[in-house]
Chain A
Amino acid sequence: MKKVVFYIVVLLSVNACVSLPNLDNRTLPLAEHMDAEIHLNQTELEVISPNTGSAGGGIIGAIISSAINNAEINKAEKAIGVVRNALITSNTENEILDIAKTKLAASAIATQMSIESFVFDEIPDPMRLPVLAEENQFTVRLSYKLTSKLDRLIVSARVNWYDVSVDSFKGKEKRKYDNHYYGSYVFITEAPETIENDDSSRREEFAKAWVSLGGEAIHQLIVQGVVDVMDMLLLDIGSLGKPALTSDTVRFKSDIENIRFRGYVLKERGDYLWIKRISNATQSYYSINRDAVKFLSK
């Protein structure tokens, strides 16, 4: 029994030390030809599901948890309805896919890039990735949503890149995934009004604040978010993971969705700071309102 525990601990330790592949040893273009897909898995502005925790174990706990989840999701979905209605005639989905496609096509990631974009009901089953991938597969997953409290708009792009090659082993062809790069690029902006004691019971007030901006202004904020996340993606991959860092370090903290990190400031764009998160585990970049971050050093 002790041996089993020992091997489990050793395996877990080894696993913990394995860092994600990065782009340090690569040069641009990453490939001669690359298949890229852009996915937008939604048809309207999303709301993050409230984190209601657990009401204990067993069937009674499960029933209580389910009832609490049901009530909280109902409240969040009802509250965001007016914001969604304000956007109903905007062509947000197609516009942000077009922006992402144009940005990717103009990049130097690959000499030749085939780009396809898919929205909501057109997205192919992701289980085929990378299992059926014939060669390089570069996937960008876009999303735009409000936090469960409706106090922030979050636009994100998540990148998966599988560098597939075929090796011959004992006369058999074997597909090999040389590299798996994962990057996360997030745009966060505050609600147009600050509401004191901003717990989840204030969702309707936040919703009204968004609606007071008007559908076109919300649409433009989402579009700005997509432009920012795609530009951060290209800054990251375009400089092969080593964009120039300023000496400024900042801390960002959001109590409600547990988003909190420290990072380096990369650049400023208007009222937004581009921040590279300090982390060994993931490549994450954020574009955040200047007022929402706390400077740790200057």
Chain B
Amino acid sequence: MIQFKLFITVFLVSFLMACSTNPVHIEQADLRARSTHDTVSASCDYSLDSIADKRSNSRRLSPAHEGRELFSADLIEHIVSTLHESGFFGQVKADVTSVDINLVKAYMQHKLSNIVAQVVFLIQIENEKDIVVRGLNVSANWIGAQSEYVDVLSKAVDQAVEKMFIALNERCGSI
């Protein structure tokens, strides 16, 4: 009987969460807790000149009328800390190649019964052609809980960062 009551309570709470339209604010701590990024070792040294957030000032991840409103002000801070922790960018030395990283897109959409997150970096390397890397994650939207949105966005960020490392490593040999 207790188990049945527990089941009903969990079901009702889940149902209420699914009906919630409160805006979701995704914080750096949420993203860090979910991040499963594995460190990629660098093939050569890069000096990280700048990381810029080129998104609009609203930090909105989804349009006003598409399900729950989603915001992430701390996304760039999360990316900066991930890059520094990875140790990918070495100490500034005279002979290293300088890199500028721009976060150009970060958005989430509801498509059928799924949440889609996209994170795009434009990487500018001195005297080289720009590189575009894109992180994508698609996941079922079961109950519309904050944790689902955090999970999808976190995976898209991890994938974009990993692709960035792979692209830079590949470019490393040709520089």
Contacts and interface: CB of A to CB of B under 8 A. Distances in A.
B76 to A, nearest CB: 16
A121 B60 contact: yes
B40 interface: no
Given A43-B105, A85-B132, A73 B114 contact: yes
26 contacts: A44-B107, A49-B112, A65-B113, A69-B113, A69-B114, A69-B140, A70-B114, A70-B138, A73-B114, A73-B116, A73-B138, A74-B138, A77-B116, A84-B120, A84-B134, A88-B104, A88-B120, A89-B122, A121-B56, A121-B64, A122-B58, A124-B64, A125-B64, A125-B65, A126-B64, A126-B65
Contact of B136 (A78, A120, A124): A78
A123 to B, nearest CB: 5
Contact of A85 (B56, B64, B113, B134): B134
Top 10 nearest A-B pairs by Cβ distance?
Answer: A121-B60, A85-B132, A69-B112, A74-B138, A125-B64, A66-B140, A49-B111, A121-B58, A66-B113, A81-B134
Interface in A87-143: 88-89, 120-127
Contacts of B58: 121-122
A22 interface: no
A41 interface: yes
Contacts of B114: 66, 69-70, 73
Contacts of B154: none
A98 to B, nearest CB: 17
Query: A interface, how many residues as a size bin?
Result: 20 to 34
Interface of B: 56, 58, 60-66, 104-105, 107, 111-114, 116, 118, 120, 122, 130, 132, 134, 136, 138-140
Contacts of B136: 74, 77-78, 81
Contacts of A41: 63, 66
A73 B140 contact: no
A67 B64 CA distance: 27
B56 to A, nearest CB: 6
B107 A43 contact: yes
Contacts of A126: 64-65
Interface in A231-259: none
A120 B63 contact: yes
Which interface residue of A41, A69, A70, A127 has the most chain B CB atoms within 10 A? Answer: A70
B11 to A, nearest CB: 12
Interface string A52-94: 1000000000000111011001100110010011001100000
B60 A88 contact: no
Contacts of A66: 113-114, 140
A85 B118 CA distance: 12
Contacts of A121: 56, 58, 60-64
Given A70-B114, A70-B139, A73-B116, A44 B65 contact: no
A122 B113 CA distance: 25
Interface in A10-46: 41, 43-44
A285 B58 CA distance: 35
A65 B140 CA distance: 10
Contacts of B139: 70
